[in-house]
Amino acid sequence: MIRSPWNRRIAAVASLGDESRRKLFDFVASAGRAVSRDDAAGALGLPRSTASFQLDRLVQDGLLAVEFRKLGGRGGPGSGRPAKLYLAAVREVAASVPDRNYDLAAELLVSAIEESAAGGGSAREALVRTAYARGLAAAQARAGEAEQDGARPAAAGTDFAGFLAAEGYRPEDDGEGGLVLLNCPFHRIAEGHTEVVCAMNGAFLGGAAAGCGIDPGRVQALAIDELRAQGAAQPAQCCARIRP
């Protein structure tokens, strides 16, 4: 699954700060079917015009989607105009400042435990394999989505930098043809479990590099504590470097 851009997630969370929009989103998301503005207005005791305006705002903010369908089982000429119906575009929405991705960490760790338990192998090796495969699939999916949108193919390095930015790493040119990553999406758990999380992160980035047509060997996962001691890294900065 491809994450929505960070600014879109922030906007979606901000949108739900309005009580009417939050109640409307909860109603539509829990309905289990597409609902009309009349359904929503009646259920929440809102004027129809207010429900219509707020529902369309939720569509604009990426929380709801729209479909048009004739109601009442009638079709063909004379059956009336299709009704505008709303359904949830996302199951949940979350965002953090700075950008974090603890859901991804949890999925990778649980998948690795399941693989290790089933095969009896090393949990760490399973985690590295799982993270690499997930990074590869995520980068390939992003490239495929760009092609469907009609975007021109990007150069491998540019595409990889775009992937890193979308995943919240905040890549910056290191002045030598490589990249430094100014944000760690797994910062809080990396603080207490540095070796495991950095190995997982390095494997994920290696897979993503391969998915973007770049040699995974360019991804260098370094000891973050050592980098900070040398003044080469700041708190919450990713330990990985992308070599020239």
pLDDT digits (tens, 9 = 90+) for 201-220: 999 999 999 999 999 888 87
Boundaries of every domain in the chain: 6-88, 102-242
Cα-based torsion angle of the residue sequence 114, 115, 118, 120 in order, rounded to the nearest 10 degrees: -120
pLDDT digits (tens, 9 = 90+) for 160-183: 999 999 899 999 998 888 888 999
Domain range 102-242, CATH architecture: 2-Layer Sandwich (3.30)
Q: Is the pLDDT of residue 155 over 70?
A: no
* Burial bucket for residue 96 (CB in 10 Å: 0-12, 13-18, 19+): middle
Q: What would the pLDDT profile of 115-141 be if each residue is shown by its tens digit?
A: 999 988 899 999 999 999 999 999 999
Give CATH for domain 6-88: 1.10.10.10
Distance from C-alpha of 58 to C-alpha of 89, rounded to nearest angstrom: 10
Find all residues with CB under 8 Å of 88, minimum gap 6, and list them: 25, 28, 29, 63, 64, 65
- Mean pLDDT to the nearest integer, 61-75: 80
Helix 37-44 crosses helix 48-60 at what angle (to 10 degrees)?
120
Q: What pLDDT shows up at residue 32?
A: 85
**Residue among 213, 196, 204 nearest 133 (CA):** 204
Mean pLDDT, all residues of the chain: 85
